[in-house]
Structure 1
Amino acid sequence: MPENTRHRRQAAMRGCDRILSGARPATMRELLAAMQAAEDLDALPDLYDGGPVTALEERVAGLLGTEAAVFFPTGTMAQQIALRYGADRTGNPTVALHPLGHQELHERYAYSWVSGLRAVRPTTAPRNPTAEEIGALAEPVSTVVVELPLRDAGFVLPTWEELTAVAAAAAGIGARLHLDGARIWESAPYLGRSFAEIAGLADSTYVSFYKTLGGISGAALAGSRELAAYARVWRHRHGGQLFQQWPAALTAMAGLDRELPRVPEYVRHARTVAAALAELPGARVFPEPPHTHQFRLWLPYPARALEDAAFALAEEEKVWFASGWRDTEVPGVAMTEITVAAPGLEWTAADVAEVGARLIDRTAGA
């Protein structure tokens, strides 16, 4: 997204009285105020390690039921090291990745360029691989990656039974299972299991602190003590051993305290919002119903017209619908992602239908 569009979106959202998709952007002053609300601010900060960073690692390990967790400044770094660990332990540089996975679309193939690994594709279908597809891989792999949910397929999740079968299939071919759990927080309601039960299927799990939880940055890689020791060495080698990271750790802890308990409510309400949006003329939502609090929406208009209408609605009527519209392979049809967070809980199905109709009116009249 161009920088000027991002700034315009942030300003428009902050000026709105009602927000359907997303959360109101926070100012730096507001973020500092959130950090000041943390407990024990008189404690010393981390110095390369320790302090609130260690406390956060211990809390994540407890949530996920793992022996240890290691804080990382970015998820891209954490995921690279998870895959490198598997390759080093097995001597096999080949990993099973989905072509729509985060490593392929959003990490600039770091696993290949930085670590010298190569990928095979268990499937190209817009979903995570099945147990049968893992078992049918034509060559050995050191790690199988499952993204929960698979964001670029529409935030889709496997069922619990499918996920347990994939874990068993990975073990059956002698591979580790790594969960890209950046959005594991909102995956648990659909899977019907605790975070510990989900992570318990895997050899390593990555989680994000700014996606969903609202932290300023940061991630964690969770697994065995052996993985954690390895991760700390390679975190340093990748330049991730920062002198102080307490601001990110404090906002992550705040997100675990305040935002995480509300996530199941967001997921439930996303179904109400999606059902109302699906009733708009020419609209389509996917998945239907949503698996998490995020889903895709298509409308039969060009992306530019929808984007202009969304900003006009925000700037003139102080109501934020959604932005980030992009044209699809179907001419005249655009798609965006909807995220139901705290502000969206205030919207009834009737509210969604009424504002959606106003957006369409503005778009059609442009």
Structure 2
Amino acid sequence: MPGHKRNPASVRGEFPLERDITEIEGFDNLHHPEDLLLEAQQNVAKLYGTRESFYSVNGSTAALLAAISAAVPRNGQILVARNCHKAVYHAIYLRNLKPAYIYPQMDSEWWINGGIFPDKVERCLAENPEIQAVLITSPTYDGVVSDVKEIAEIAHKYGVPLIVDEAHGAHFHFSNYFPASAAELGADLVIQSFHKTLPAMTQTAVLHNCSDRVDSRLIRRFMGIYQTSSPSYILMASIDACMDTMAAEGKQMFRDFTRILEQTRKRLSVCKYIRLVDPVKGKNGVFDYDRSKLVFSTRASLLSGSDLYHILLDRYHIQMEMESENYVLAIASVGDREEGFERLCQAIEELDQEQADLIKAGIPAEEK
């Protein structure tokens, strides 16, 4: 295996068949790593400064499933943020867990979820002594970061681990321009999607074990259960290459990236109708904010979020990450080029001027 035998003539299309191998001699086994893959995962832990790091080639989904399963026994109880990923709900279902929910504060200016208040976490733990773990999402899809350090201290005071879904924050570690990673702030298990914000292939992620509050043997067992028994060596090589790149060139790459990103944010911050979202720290549970998330609110314009999404795609050929009723989201990363930032700026500035002209002319929203 694989059946293509690394022969390009055996299949139509261009695929990296020469790298698509399985657990052949000399290439180790992800589920029982002893050589290459053990060293590769140790390199991730060393780079991030964590106790252990585990590859996930089933994305953050498998890592979340494994983290929850390892931290909470079947039929147990868990406190989860209500804005968590669907994988969390899948873990609750699969393990027959009893969830208690904590809600993020709503940011009424931007209509996005704010952060999780630490005092609410403490209140829930005090009222529910059977809770065996806490899970929050930080940063959120829109970039909002909660006070992970204080939430971790509260969880530990009650004797339970903190799991942080940091799928959208794998880049935090590589620049002080961004918030600190949960792995540096006392969280016990931290899940990161490399493919979301680092130069790695889709479906690549890691699970960091940062303490001894969750049994490593259980983490390994459940990572083996929730991942395929034939993990893709192409994906694992992508993780390894990403870490090599970050170790060798990451500092310069992020210096260049954050410089262009900050110029872009300053340029777009003057738009009045297609407004660049910039949550206020200290309000609505917003402890910090990931400025690589470019969220454009349409609430001051005649457009909906869906309108803006499709105009950017159809007229300007710019693919946004996500649309909502009142905003669209773009995710910037080190893989972006300066030309791409320029195109985005020009598009948003043109649309902002169009909205200014329409509103000045008194055009109602239904006639736009």
| TM-score of the aligned structures, taking structure 1 as reference length | 0.71
1:15-66 CA distance string (max 9 Å, x none): xxxxxxxxxxxxx95x849979xxxxx9833345435432331122212333
Does residue 270 (structure 1) correspond to residue 272 (structure 2)? The answer is no
Instruction: Choose which of 79, 83, 87 in structure 2 pairs with 1:96.
Output: 79
Q: CA contact under 8 A between 1:95 and 1:120: conserved in structure 2?
A: yes
| Alignment CA distance shift 1:184-1:273 (3 Å) | same
Query: Which residue is equivalent to 1:55?
Result: 39
Shift of residue 205 of structure 1? Answer: 1.6
Which of the residues 305, 308, 329 maps onto 1:306? 308
Change (3 A) 1:312 1:34: farther
Q: Deviations over 1:55-111 (max 9, x none)?
A: 3311222123333222223222211221222223xx872212111122xxx327112
Q: Is contact 2:75–2:96 with CA below 8 Å preserved after alignment? A: no
For residues 340 and 321 of structure 2, the distance between their equivalents in structure 1, rounded to whole angstroms, comes to 23
User: Which of 216, 220, 228 is the equivalent residue of 2:202?
Assistant: 216
Structure with max Cα Rg: 2
Deviation at 1:268, TM superposition (A): 4.9
CA positional deviation for 1:147: 2.2
Give 1:250 deviation, angstroms.
Answer: 0.8
Identity %: 14
Alignment of 1:220-239 (within 5 A): 220-223=206-209, 227-238=215-226
Distance in structure 1 (CA, Å) of the matches to 2:254 and 2:132 = 33
In the alignment, the residues of structure 2 paired with residue 101 and residue 286 of structure 1 have an alpha-carbon distance, to the nearest angstrom, of: 21
SS at 1:136's partner residue? helix
The structure 1 residue matched to 2:27, chosen from 24, 42, 45, is 45
Is the counterpart of residue 356 in structure 1 residue 336 in structure 2? no
Whether the aligned pair in 2 keeps the contact of 1:176 and 1:203 (CA below 8 Å) is yes
Q: How does 1:77-92 map to 2 (within 5 A)?
A: 77-88=62-73
* Match status 1:134 vs 2:121: yes
Once the two structures are superposed, residues 176-198 of structure 1 have per-residue CA deviations (whole angstroms, 9 ceiling, x without a partner) of 111212233333435665x5x83
Does the 8 Å contact 1:46/1:244 carry over to 2?
A: no
Per-residue deviation, 1:114: 0.7
Indicate the SS of the match to 1:220.
Answer: strand
Is 1:121 the counterpart of 2:123? The answer is: no
The AA in structure 2 aligned to 1:187 is F
- Would the aligned equivalents of 1:96 and 1:119 in 2 still touch at CA under 8 Å? yes
Q: Which amino acid aligns with 2:44?
A: V
Q: 3-state DSSP class of the match of 1:124?
A: coil
More helix by share: 1
Aligned residues: 310
Q: CA deviation at 1:354?
A: 3.2
The one-letter amino acid paired with 1:291 is: D
Q: CA deviation at 1:170?
A: 0.8
Q: Residues 84 and 115 of structure 1 are in contact (CA less than 8 Å); yes or no, is this contact kept in structure 2? A: yes
- Give ranges in structure 2 of 5+ residues lacking alignment: 1-12, 106-112, 281-288, 359-366
- Asked whether 1:173 is paired with 2:158, we answer yes
Name whichever of 355-364 and 112-121 sits farther off.
355-364
Aligned to 1:13: none
- CA shift for structure 1 position 207: 2.0
Aligned to 2:237: 250
Name the CA distance, whole Å, in 2 between partners of 1:323 and 1:147: 22
Tell me, which stretches of 5 or more residues in structure 1 are unaligned? Answer: 1-27, 37-41, 315-319, 329-333
Aligned residue identity for 2:315: L
Q: Is the 2:267–2:345 contact (alpha carbons within 8 Å) kept by the matching residues of 1?
A: yes
Distance 1:124 1:130, change over 3 A: closer
The one of the two structures with greater contact order (alpha-carbon pairs below 8 A, sep at least 6) is: 1
Query: Relative to 1, partners in 2 of residues 1:304 and 1:130: Cα closer, same or farther, differing over 3 Å?
Result: closer
Query: Compared with structure 1, are the counterparts of its residues 93 and 199 closer, same or farther at alpha carbon in structure 2 (3 Å cutoff)?
Result: farther
Aligned AA (1:283): I
Change (3 A) 1:312 1:205: closer
CA distance in 2 between partners of 1:124 and 1:352 (Å): 30
Q: Is the 8 A contact 1:72 1:221 kept in 2?
A: yes
Measure how far apart 1:120 and its partner are: 1.5
Whether the 8 Å CA contact 1:186–1:263 is kept in 2: the answer is no
CA separation of 1:303 and 1:179: change in aligned 2, threshold 3 A:
closer
Distance 1:243 1:323 in 2: 33
SS of alignment partner, residue 97 of structure 1: strand
> How big is each residue's C-alpha offset from its partner over 1:229-285, in whole Å with a ceiling of 9 and x where there is no partner?
2122223333x2523432111111222233654346534543332332232341222
Q: Is the 8 A contact 2:179 2:290 kept in 1?
A: no
